[in-house]
């Protein structure tokens, strides 16, 4: 099994790809302007729960509920 990590870096975004045996396994794109909120922790209040969808709506100061 052979693997490669391919990295493309520009001032506006970074792209990383994991290739194993010539097949793309994973691709990640991070843009400098639009940083995601995944992995961050925020304090909020649960305003609605949908058990059938296994989902909850959460309101916080940064992301207010509508």
Phi, psi of 52 (to 5 degrees): -65, -30
pLDDT at 42: 73
Question: Does residue 22 belong to any structural domain of this protein?
Answer: yes
**49 or 37: whose pLDDT is higher?**
49
This model's pTM is above 0.85: no
Split at pLDDT 50, 70, 90, the class of 33 is: confident
Question: Does residue 18 belong to any structural domain of this protein?
Answer: yes
Question: Does residue 65 belong to any structural domain of this protein?
Answer: no
How many domains is the chain partitioned into structurally? 1
% of the chain residues with pLDDT over 70? 80
Question: Does residue 64 belong to any structural domain of this protein?
Answer: no
Question: Does residue 53 belong to any structural domain of this protein?
Answer: yes
- In 1-66, where do the E strands start and end? 3-9, 13-20, 23-31, 45-50, 55-59
Enclosing domain of residue 22:
3-59
């Amino acid at each position: 099994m052979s693997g490669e990590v391919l990295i493309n870096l520009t001032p506006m975004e970074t792209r990383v790809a994991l290739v194993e045996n010539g097949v793309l396994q994973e691709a990640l794109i991070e843009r400098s302007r639009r940083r995601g909120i995944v992995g961050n922790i925020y304090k909020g209040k649960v305003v609605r729960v949908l058990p059938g969808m296994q989902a909850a709506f959460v309101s916080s100061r940064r992301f207010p509920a509508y």
